[in-house]
Chain A
Amino acid sequence: MAKRDGPEHDETRGLTRRGLFRSIGAATLVAGCTKEDPPLHPESRAVADVDGAIGLTPTPLEFVLDGQPQKLEVEARTTLLDLLRLDLDRTGTKLVCDRGACGACMVMVDDVPRNSCMMLALDVAGATVTTVAGLGGSSQLSALQQAFVQHDALQCGFCTSGMLISSSALLRRSAGQTLERADVEDAIAGNLCRCGTYPHVVDAVLSVANGGGGSAHNVVLLRAKPSTKSGGA
């Protein structure tokens, strides 16, 4: 749906789950199972003659993604989520419900947490978008990501990137304040976790918020603190 000038897929990662699925043609299999509308050619639509209308065909878009400037072309119908996952291969942001109901696709747009499935890619022109990958890499986890690991705040992990976005946004806007459990629960109220990791997510966020700035040292200290093991299955 879009062309891009950005870096090509990182071939140095070796065997990845996505790469494996691709190589065995799982994409074809999945496509065979989904119900798709018959393709409708853009040419059959009559809006091209409206002055100032854009996006029926790929349209230039510039924004900053996880600190890197992006310059590409995208159709209006491409959601921000599709742009990230399909065009830019930034698969840390997850597709689950595609209706703004689960929060797996959340990203920060100019520091505001939003559901990327219910936004158009063209909405973020000129904006700064932060995905889970922008919070810290696998070799250098942020204090919050480290706390998620240490508090066992994930099970299957599918909601985790959204949880991290919502709670990172909370930590940014409440810097220096002491947080209560209810504050964290309110912040992650749009992130659905089928594994029921909520209590551990709250523990992890509170450990960073109230642990004296969330340095690695504090996180290690908190590890010894017994956490509430009340999470249901």
Chain B
Amino acid sequence: MQPFAIIRPKRVDQARELVVGKPELRVFRAGGVDLFDRMKEGIEDPELLVELRDALTAGVELTKDQPLVPVDTNPLPPAPRYVSAGALTTLAQLAAAALPGVDALHQAAGQAATPGIRNTATLGGNLLQRPRCWYFRNRELVCLKKGGDTCLAITGDSRYHAILGGGPSFIVHPSSLATALLALDAVASVFVGDEQASPQPVLPLHELFVGPEQDPTREHKLAPGDLLTRVWIPVLDDMRSAYQAVREKRSHDWPLVEAAARLRLDQGGSMRDVRVALGHVAPIPWNASQAAALLEGQTPSAKLFAQAADAALADAAALEGNAYKIPMAKGLLRQVLHRASGLALPE
């Protein structure tokens, strides 16, 4: 890595001040796993790493509290309790937390990367990491994400690229936590102001991410200097959730496809508050709202789950090398619905 300096501000406003206006030269560092990878690959060369270790917090807890938000912003989804996790919480801590209802998060965190990386990588860094596309990560290539004219996956090797929501870029969003958190209807506290004390907004996770049709050079809405400080997950009564991924290798591999679902069963056995998400199929964590709408208020059945899976992938369009992802996503989606609802898998 080229020479750089580090600085460890004590507060978020100090951290923000150091980066605002100098995005090319100064970057935030949480765990640093993705950042050091980009620096070692030679696609980024910051001169100052603003380390967040003293400005943000780690740790995950179950709480009845809600953050103080500005009057004109979205409040959190109503729930009796929330799982609240600081942005510096490691993936290992998230995997081990054993909190009610959020199995999807535990499973996603516990399967990502490797045990050693999970001890270093953080919640905030995982959500805001850059894409793992091999064209983006190759410093010799100028793809659409790096200011080029076209996404190189269109004519290149597209086996790991998007089948939904693609165009003009066909990356897949790399965060497994985002897939689980999207299904769990999570919101993120962000620090976008100048004053530490004033209430800061929360962003529902589906609003945090930016698709390539809006801006192909970025993956999320936060401007340089803005910070993701905390994630909140509403824990509904009797809430259940599940996450599952398919990988080529048993360990340390990015998912080919992943799926997550959240729901609760009412007294009559009908599914309520259903949310379904897919990962590694689209440039953003994919909210399968058609599937969720089909399931809402219905009794779990294998036939219904298959219909929901078909609905979720109805708009899928494969590139040359990734048509396999369509049936794979359907199968995974059915599996997480069976697991979340407790309905035994057929056969």
Contact A40 B2 (CB under 8 A): yes
Segment at the B interface, from A14-22, A53-61, A143-151: A53-61
Which residues in B have their C-beta under 8 angstroms from that of A79? 1, 36
Which residues in B have their C-beta under 8 angstroms from that of A77? 1-4
Interface of A is mostly: loop
Q: How large is the interface on B (under 10, 10 to 19, 20 to 34, 35 or more residues)?
A: 20 to 34
Contact B47 A113 (CB under 8 A): no
A 94-121 binary contact with B (CB < 8 Å = 1; else 0)? 0000111101001000001111001110
Q: Is A131 an interface residue (CB 8 A)?
A: no
Which residues in B have their C-beta under 8 angstroms from that of A100? 33, 37, 113-114, 116-117, 120
Q: Is A7 an interface residue (CB 8 A)?
A: no
Nearest CB in chain B: distance from A6 CB, A: 23
Nearest CB in chain B: distance from A186 CB, A: 7
Which residues in B have their C-beta under 8 angstroms from that of A46? 25, 47
Q: Is A86 an interface residue (CB 8 A)?
A: no
Contact B32 A113 (CB under 8 A): no
Query: Which chain B residue shows the least CB distance to A98?
Result: B40
Contact A115 B120 (CB under 8 A): yes
Which of these, B3, B33, B113, contacts A75 with CB under 8 Å? B3
Q: Is B252 an interface residue (CB 8 A)?
A: yes
Q: How large is the interface on A (under 10, 10 to 19, 20 to 34, 35 or more residues)?
A: 35 or more
Nearest CB in chain A: distance from B29 CB, A: 9
B 230-243 binary contact with A (CB < 8 Å = 1; else 0)? 00000000000000
Asked if A190 meets B251 with Cβ closer than 8 Å, knowing A53-B5, A114-B120, A120-B6, the reply is yes
Which residues in A have their C-beta under 8 angstroms from that of B8? 52
Contact B48 A118 (CB under 8 A): no
Contact B3 A42 (CB under 8 A): yes
Q: Is B291 an interface residue (CB 8 A)?
A: no
- Chain A contacts with B in 112-157, Cβ cutoff 8 A: 112-115, 118-120, 122
The residues of B with any CB-CB pair to A shorter than 8 Å are 1-9, 18, 25, 32-33, 36-37, 40, 42, 47-49, 113-117, 119-120, 250-252
11 extra interface residue pairs, beta carbon distance < 8 Å, beyond A52-B9, A76-B3? A41-B3, A50-B5, A50-B7, A53-B48, A101-B114, A113-B116, A120-B32, A166-B115, A187-B115, A190-B116, A190-B251
Ranked 4 nearest A-B pairs via Cβ: A190-B114, A189-B251, A53-B5, A56-B5
